[in-house]
Structure 1
Amino acid sequence: MTSLIGPAAALEELRDGGAIQMCDRLASAPWDPDAPDLQHTVAFQSLRASEAIAACREAIDQAPRLRRLHFQLGRSFDRLGANQDAFQAYQRAADLGSGAAKVNIGILFRQGRRFEKNDVKARSWFLDAAKSGIPEGMYCYATALDNGIGGLPDVASAKLWYAKAAERGTAKARDALVRLEIDGAGTGARCD
């Protein structure tokens, strides 16, 4: 057993064949149902992108069909602001069935930072993610319906999707649902 810590330990673990575990440890999203250990995930703001990119690339070499690795690589590029690279990794993960990747593609289109801004595409990706059963996707799709992002507002559908996300434990969906009930469409709830 090695006593290395920090980046040196990460490199040693990669050499020992632990790239998949290292990618998981460095880049798993707290809301991704594909994350292998929801007790050990990384908030986006805390993601150490350069280390995660190296680990996730090696992990993908070892297991190219494991969708969560492509999602985590995309997340790492996203953290760096390399949004074209993030999109490509997310697209591969989405092609493999990752609902989490669909959410993040929608966010890329919604935000449009160093990427194409397109609310219609964002809404469509959020819908795909919602239909795949991802609570974060349900919430994001509800925000688009609520606030008229990429189409007309639809209060009834927004309530339905907020409620579905809330039933699956998404606290911000419960809050948005209450605001929608009180104030009507246009709550300003955001998916980002």
Structure 2
Amino acid sequence: MASASWDPDAPDLQRTVAFRDLRAAPAIAACREAVAVAPRLRRLSFQLGRAYDRQGANPEAYRAYLQAAELGSGAAKVNIGILYRQGRRFEKNDAKARAWFRAAAEAGIPEGMYCYATALDNGLGGAPDGALAKAWYVKAAQRGTAKARDALMRLELDGTGTGAICD
């Protein structure tokens, strides 16, 4: 009910749901029950976080994502970074967003690689670094992230500050 197609822990890529299509209330109920049964299964906490996130309950989403991240979920690290970057009903902190994106990128999550590259490209939470942004965009693109290829092209043509965002 709340599995993301870009989460490497997703058990069945044929049964994922886009964030905009996620039905928060039933997903929260199902995920809370699943987490209660298997609290060490990180994908369940990540999915619970997505469901809370979709509902706009960002402090609850953060707690669920943090539990998943502590269990090793790179996907949860990406979404924690997004919570900090957006700052809606949550603390806005670009430096923390960048740090979480970096952790996800270093964990090998293509979406995390893209998000970290956007932070480096646009100076989110620190100084821009075009060379490092390019390296991470390339890594994300090599792993199938189409939006990374687009951002890489803009970076190569126009330099840093492409405006590419992770959300």
TM-score, normalization: structure 1? 0.86
Structure with the larger RCO, 1 or 2 (CA within 8 Å, 6+ apart): 2
**What is aligned with 1:73?**
48
- Once residues 126 and 51 of structure 1 are traced to their aligned partners in structure 2, the CA distance between those partners, rounded to angstroms, is 29
TM-score, normalization: structure 2? 0.99
**What is aligned with 2:70?**
95
Question: CA offsets per residue over residues 109-151 of structure 1, 9 Å max, x none?
Answer: 0000000000000000000000000000000000000000000
CA apart distance, 1:40: 1.4
**What is aligned with 2:120?**
145
- Structure 1 residue ranges, 4+ long, deviating more than 3 angstroms after superposition: none
- Once residues 30 and 110 of structure 2 are traced to their aligned partners in structure 1, the CA distance between those partners, rounded to angstroms, is 27
What residue ranges of structure 2 are gaps of 5+ in the alignment? none
- Once residues 38 and 143 of structure 1 are traced to their aligned partners in structure 2, the CA distance between those partners, rounded to angstroms, is 26
**What is aligned with 1:52?**
27
- Once residues 69 and 145 of structure 2 are traced to their aligned partners in structure 1, the CA distance between those partners, rounded to angstroms, is 22
- Once residues 176 and 61 of structure 1 are traced to their aligned partners in structure 2, the CA distance between those partners, rounded to angstroms, is 40
Root-mean-square deviation (Å): 0.4
Report the secondary structure of 1:28's partner residue.
Answer: coil
Aligned length: 167
- Once residues 159 and 97 of structure 1 are traced to their aligned partners in structure 2, the CA distance between those partners, rounded to angstroms, is 26
Identity within the alignment, %: 77
**What is aligned with 2:92?**
117
Q: 1:104 aligns with which of 47, 58, 79?
A: 79
Report the secondary structure of 2:7's partner residue.
Answer: coil
What residue ranges of structure 1 are gaps of 5+ in the alignment? 1-25
